[in-house]
């Protein structure tokens, strides 16, 4: 099912000209820091010396998780559909910030454990009413995995076909920090104690319990597949311990990269989706802009593994795409300085070589 993705690295055709344009703005070399690397990345992705991020879209994928039955979350599962309705009615943080920056918001039901009312901002792509409890059985079938991936692909195609030129991704799903930590453990070959964090506010005992559930789930999966997790391919990993909204995000990232459009990665859970997508197609990472480093314990080590330099570090741990939308004005500034800031020559200012 992953054969549909054939992702090339961004073109290096404009590298020299892009760097020359950035270096010859009226500033000391490197003085705009992260903005310069963002402008260079956007130029490479768009294969242009003038970049455009004026038509963004936020897509939030939502799903529920059977493993919540193991007591890995502070909140009950019914919070997922309640929060989805909060997004749709404009009351969530991501809704407020999207309205602030005039960024369209789309919420995608990939696996919420409820029948949701129709709404103009809601896309109904439900695979099932939650994944299976992966501590007891595989999280999903291969058919369900395919549907989750295709949900992300379809949402990206719809957005890009309507002129969107920058995508931002978020998620909602009670228990999905546990699922993400489990996926990270399998993808990186680390101990569950290194990946399990507080999520929505677990105490130390709750975090320890989460790590135990992850360890038990991975042991179950290794026994049932007959393979150590280090030998799992992407499909096996997803079927055994994946989450619908996480995999839909991965599909969306892969399709965005395949269509050569930059996308913004939110926090810990979105970063795990990218780590999974990178297992499918390594070049997907080069189309990713990292919004922030979250307060979730394992996010720093995950960002390091992805060789990522996030734009913000605001001690956030909300999810929803909240960090992604907060980073948007800085991404806009990177584009504006590349496009509009004067060069030494055009401004008649002496550069360092002429002093």
| 190-217 pLDDT tens trace | 999 999 999 878 999 989 999 999 999 9
Q: Which residue positions in the chain have pLDDT lower than 50?
A: 354-355
What is the pLDDT at residue 355? 43
**Quick one: tokens of 161?**
């076909």
What is the pLDDT at residue 353? 58
> Across all residues in the chain, what is the average pLDDT?
96
The CATH code belonging to domain 56-329 is 3.40.50.10210
What is the pLDDT at residue 345? 85
What is the rounded CA–CA span in Å between residue 30 and residue 28?
6
**pTM to 2 decimals?**
0.96
Q: So where are the chain's domains? A: 56-329
Nearest to 59 by CA among 5, 140, 121: 121
Q: Is 320 a catalytic residue?
A: yes
Q: Are strands 166-172 and 263-265 parallel, antiparallel or unpaired?
A: parallel
Q: Do the Cβ atoms of 7 and 258 come closer than 8 Å?
A: yes
Catalytic residue among 171, 239, 296, 320: 320
* pLDDT single digits (tens) 279-300: 999 999 999 999 999 999 899 9
């Amino acid at each position: 099912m992953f054969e549909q993705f054939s992702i090339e690295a961004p073109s290096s055709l404009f590298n020299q000209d892009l760097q020359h344009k950035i270096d010859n703005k009226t500033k000391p070399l490197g003085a705009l820091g992260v903005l310069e690397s963002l402008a260079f990345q956007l130029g490479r992705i768009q294969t242009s010396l003038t970049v455009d991020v004026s038509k963004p879209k936020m897509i939030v994928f939502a799903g529920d998780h059977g493993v919540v039955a193991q007591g890995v979350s502070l909140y009950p599962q019914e919070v997922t559909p309640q929060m989805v309705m909060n997004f749709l009615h404009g009351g969530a943080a991501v809704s407020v910030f999207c309205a602030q920056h005039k960024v369209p918001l789309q919420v995608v039901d990939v696996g919420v454990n409820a029948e949701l009312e129709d709404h103009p901002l809601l896309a109904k792509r439900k695979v099932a009413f939650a994944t299976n409890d992966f501590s007891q059985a595989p999280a999903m079938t291969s058919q369900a995995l395919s549907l989750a991936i295709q949900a992300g692909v379809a949402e990206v195609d719809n957005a890009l076909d309507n002129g969107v030129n920058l995508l931002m991704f978020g998620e909602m799903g009670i228990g999905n920090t546990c699922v993400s930590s489990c996926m990270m453990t399998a993808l990186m070959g680390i101990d569950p104690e290194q990946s399990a964090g507080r999520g929505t506010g677990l105490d130390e005992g709750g975090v320890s319990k989460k790590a135990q559930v992850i360890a038990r789930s991975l042991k179950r999966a290794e026994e049932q597949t007959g393979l150590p997790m280090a030998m799992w391919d992407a499909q096996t990993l997803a079927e055994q311990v994946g989450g619908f909204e996480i995999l839909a995000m991965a599909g969306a990232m892969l399709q965005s990269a395949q269509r050569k459009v930059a996308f913004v990665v939110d926090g810990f859970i979105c970063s795990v989706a990218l780590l999974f997508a990178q297992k499918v197609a390594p070049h997907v990472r080069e189309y990713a802009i990292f919004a922030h480093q979250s307060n979730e314990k394992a996010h720093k080590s995950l960002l390091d593994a992805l060789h990522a330099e996030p734009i913000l570090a605001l001690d956030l741990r909300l999810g929803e795409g909240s960090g992604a939308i907060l980073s948007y004005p800085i991404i806009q500034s990177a584009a504006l300085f590349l496009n509009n800031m004067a060069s030494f020559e055009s401004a008649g200012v002496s550069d360092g070589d002429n002093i």
